[in-house]
A and B are shown apart, each in its own frame.
Chain A
Amino acid sequence: MKFLKSIRIVLSVLFFLPIFLFFIDVTGKLPLYFHQFLSIQWIPALLSMNFAILGILLLLSLLFGRIYCSTICPLGVLQDVLTWKSRFFRKKRKKIRYDYTVPKNILRYSILALTVIVFLFGSSFLVLLLDPYSTFGRIASQLFRPLAIWGNNFIAFVLSAMGNYTFYKVEQVSFVPLAFGVASLFFLLVLQMSWLKGRSYCNTICPVGTSLGLLSKISFFHISIKESTCTHCGACEKQCKSQCIDSKATMVDDSRCVSCFNCLSSCKSGSIKFETRYKGKQDQPVEQMTNNSRRTFLLASGAAITATALAKTNKILGKNDTILSRKPIMPPGANTLEHFSAHCTGCQLCVTKCPMQVLKPAALQYGILGITQPHLSFSTHVFCTYDCNICSNVCPTGALKPLVMEEKKLVQLGIAKFRKDMCVVFTDEKDCGACSEHCPTQAVHMIDYKDGLTIPEVTDDLCIGCGACESICPVRPYQAIYVEGSTNQGKAKKPAEAKKFNKKVDDFGF
């Protein structure tokens, strides 16, 4: 049954590479339809109610156990890569050898219960933090992508010095300490756990892994040891990265088995097999789950209360410019703040795909519960481009609803606020008009001011809050025109067209 392991490895590479490359693709060379790979993930499929994908994943789990964890989940495969690489740092490059451990049931079921309860209370905070796919996205975008950008820029620097512009310099992603911190924390955690204990993260912390463990207890196929021929040599146990094989007791803890099939090739007597659970004889008694519902309930309600309290108290106080305390600007397609907060898991896919790099992971703009959820952050030449709807179309969780281009052009992300007393036309009495020049709908337009000068004016119902005006306003650090975010994205009026000029001009005029 060695071939099962080979199939698993090939499949996991086929799933992992496109996802990984899609996240670190700094110059946008990969086609956008690669995002389809990301909808085949449990949490995104659950949040976006993608029943077809859910059905397939459920069927796979019921048939083969936690095959999602070993092949489809990018964080799972990342751990395998880390474990594999850890060999090169060990004495004599030896492979890691595992021993059976008892399951950390209290911890893993508490985390699962807590995540579910907090979600039912209306906050996706723990889903955001613990969804393995989103954690992977944050690690890839915050830690690996900057390295890829450096690499790209180095190549671009060398080649452009020789007059070759095949590679071009890409702006380094702006540093958001909190997002970087969250990504680093989880990366170190995963690194440490996979380095020493294989898939311990998946079996202790990951709520998706824990819930799939419940399914894999009844999966059609599972790993079983034939007691009659087993010599209790422990070879399979040493291979088991989930540390779920107890060779002395000839027992496999199905709830922690990720169907990696490493054990199958290790058995010399051929006693360990991946076979159907339902062929008459019941191999192993199903292990009892500790009854910890009371403890879990208390923990969960405690967390929920703390979380709500934190969200409520998160008001930014004591800043001197109104621009600092503005409402966050959600990406197009977010609709309402409630919908967006509840569905976005901060996987950073839209952030990495935004051609303008205007989408950034939030620090506390959405409150503590919304860290790493994307928001628009304008800077010079960085605003939401008019003819672009990429973010809304790649979002795997449905936090951003797909928009067609004509819809996107009318979605009001916010409304521009003009502060006349700060405008250079008012303060210096000189022409500028940069804001109006960049306004795609002419919601910001120039009106007569005095002595042939013109000054900007905003028509609110034409404004889509793209931030082009704010990004280009020369008044710094606080612009004379800025976008106030909308918590409920409205629909702007279609800009009126100019009067057509139909006369024939056949003279030069000079």
Chain B
Amino acid sequence: MKRRDFFKSAAIVGMASFFKTNALGSVLSGKEMAVHSEPDLVAVMGGEPEVMLVRALKEFGGIKHFVKKGQKVVIKPNIGWDRKPELAANTNPALVGALVRLCKGAGASEVIVFDHTCHDWKKSYTNSGIERAVLAAGGKIVPANDESYYQEVDLPRGVNLKKAKIHKSLLECDVWFNVPILKHHGGAKNTISMKNLMGIVWDRSFFHSHDLHQCIADISTFHKKPALNIVDAYRIMKSNGPQGKSESDVVMLKSLLVSPDFVAVDTASMKLFSQVQPTDISDVRYIGLAEKLRVGTQNLDKLNVKRIKL
């Protein structure tokens, strides 16, 4: 080795460790440091979907913090049902449309939206209003109704679910957003951010036959995490979920919860939901199971939570 080369590599190693310790230091120094950095969870109440979204994202440093120019973005709302927006069975189309617009504005080369629906996918895409909103905002809505759109990935941290076929567009994108709606759910008790992941998977019947809650926790260990979970609680479905029977199941909360942490955002959402329909969070077993798999934390006190009322 030449002397010059030695100095060069030493310098590089030195630089690298410098940054490394710095990053480590910020974690170790605990709460104070974290308070000044970006929040762990932002909750907004009292505005229209787009306004609340922009406000929440501001706390995280704006959409440009997540989406860089030329990137491929995927947005995964809940479009599971052939229901109109007023029935709150699917994510609010205005919210999805606004997010598409923001991503395009940040320079995303492509914004793709999909869901593996429960009802006929064409009818769900149309009647949820999401297809129209996405197209109007310059996004692309793609089908997820066929196994050929999926590719198998390993879930090494999964307990029951060790492998899953996941939609290719999600595997190929640079960044993705999980945009569920907060609802009551007959099977899983409640559906929020983690339950929404069942829509990125092909074979859902495996979930139902191998302990639904454990499988939901398992899929949350998928290595490609969403940049943010954006929980739509503008209208929530308090009963008869996940489809709902009528508008009597719907409650206007005009809220939005945003966090990169699955467990935290689901915990917070359950606390919001319980004010309408008291529910024991331990009955929503997948939240605890996911925490056990170190997907996130239920302890909101430890987190930097921003509560904003408009």
Contacts and interface: CB of A to CB of B under 8 A. Distances in A.
A290 B259 CA distance: 88
Nearest to B110: A163
A356 to B, nearest CB: 6
Contacts of A28: 122
B145 A452 contact: no
A433 B241 CA distance: 11
B283 interface: yes
A501 B268 CA distance: 20
Contact of A355 (B45, B120, B273, B285): B120
Given A433-B188, A509-B275, A474 B209 contact: yes
Contacts of B248: 497-500
Contacts of A441: 245
Interface stretch (B6-14, B18-26, B220-228, B249-257): B249-257
B187 A498 contact: no
A380 interface: yes
B276 A508 contact: no
12 contacts: A168-B145, A386-B82, A428-B211, A431-B213, A437-B118, A438-B243, A439-B186, A474-B206, A498-B246, A505-B276, A510-B43, A510-B271
Interface in A470-485: 472, 474-475
B274 A434 contact: no
A510 B208 CA distance: 31
A491 interface: no
Please classify how large the interface on chain A is, using the bins under 10, 10 to 19, 20 to 34, 35 or more: 35 or more
Top 3 A-B residue pairs of the complex, sorted by shortest distance between their CB atoms: A433-B187, A474-B209, A436-B186
A393 interface: no
Interface in A160-175: 160, 165, 168-169, 171
A495 interface: yes
A474 B208 contact: yes
Interface in B217-246: 238-243, 245-246
A434 B272 contact: no
A380 B272 contact: no
A509 B248 CA distance: 22
Interface string B184-209: 01111100000000000000011011
Interface string A115-127: 0000000000000
A478 to B, nearest CB: 14
Interface string A364-392: 00000000000000001100011110000
Most buried by B among A381, A428, A436, A508: A508
A495 B245 contact: yes
A155 B67 CA distance: 33
B305 interface: yes
Contacts of B285: 431
A388 to B, nearest CB: 8
B275 A505 contact: yes
B274 A424 contact: no
B119 interface: yes
Contacts of A506: 45-46, 309
B123 interface: yes
B292 interface: no
Nearest to B45: A508
Contacts of B45: 506, 508
Given A28-B122, A433-B185, A474-B205, 8 more contacts: A385-B82, A431-B213, A433-B186, A437-B185, A438-B243, A472-B205, A508-B307, A509-B272
A385 B122 CA distance: 12
Contacts of A434: 187, 205, 208
Contacts of A160: 149
B186 A445 contact: yes
B211 A431 contact: yes
Contact of B208 (A168, A388, A424, A442): A424
Contacts of A452: 283
Contacts of A431: 187-189, 211-213, 285
B120 to A, nearest CB: 5
A332 to B, nearest CB: 16
A436 B185 CA distance: 9
Given A497-B248, A498-B240, A501-B251, A169 B143 contact: yes
Contacts of B268: 508, 510
Interface of B: 43, 45-46, 82, 118-120, 122-123, 127, 140, 142-143, 145-146, 148-149, 185-189, 205-206, 208-209, 211-213, 238-243, 245-246, 248-249, 251, 253, 255, 267-268, 271-277, 283, 285, 300, 305, 307, 309
Chain A at the B interface: SS class: loop
Contacts of A497: 245-246, 248-249
A442 B244 CA distance: 9
A452 B284 CA distance: 10
A495 to B, nearest CB: 5
Nearest to A433: B187
Interface of A: 28, 157, 160, 165, 168-169, 171, 355-356, 380-381, 385-388, 424, 428, 430-434, 436-442, 445-446, 452, 472, 474-475, 495, 497-501, 505-510
B206 to A, nearest CB: 8
Contacts of B241: 437
A432 B208 contact: yes
B174 to A, nearest CB: 15
A505 to B, nearest CB: 5
Contacts of A428: 211
A387 B238 CA distance: 22
Contacts of A387: 82, 123, 127
Nearest to B276: A501
Contacts of A424: 208-209
Contact of A165 (B140, B251, B273, B305): B140
Contacts of A437: 118, 185-187, 241-243
Contact of A498 (B122, B145, B188, B239): B239
A355 B274 CA distance: 38
Nearest to A434: B208
B205 A385 contact: no
A508 B272 contact: yes
Contacts of B273: 509
Contacts of A475: 209
Contact of B212 (A381, A432, A501, A510): A432
Contact of B300 (A356, A381, A501, A510): A510
Contacts of A432: 187, 208-209, 212
Nearest to B44: A508
B167 to A, nearest CB: 12
Contacts of B305: 510
Contacts of B146: 168-169, 171
Given A171-B146, A355-B120, A441-B245, A430 B211 contact: yes
A506 B47 CA distance: 12
Nearest to B245: A495
B310 to A, nearest CB: 11
Contacts of B206: 474
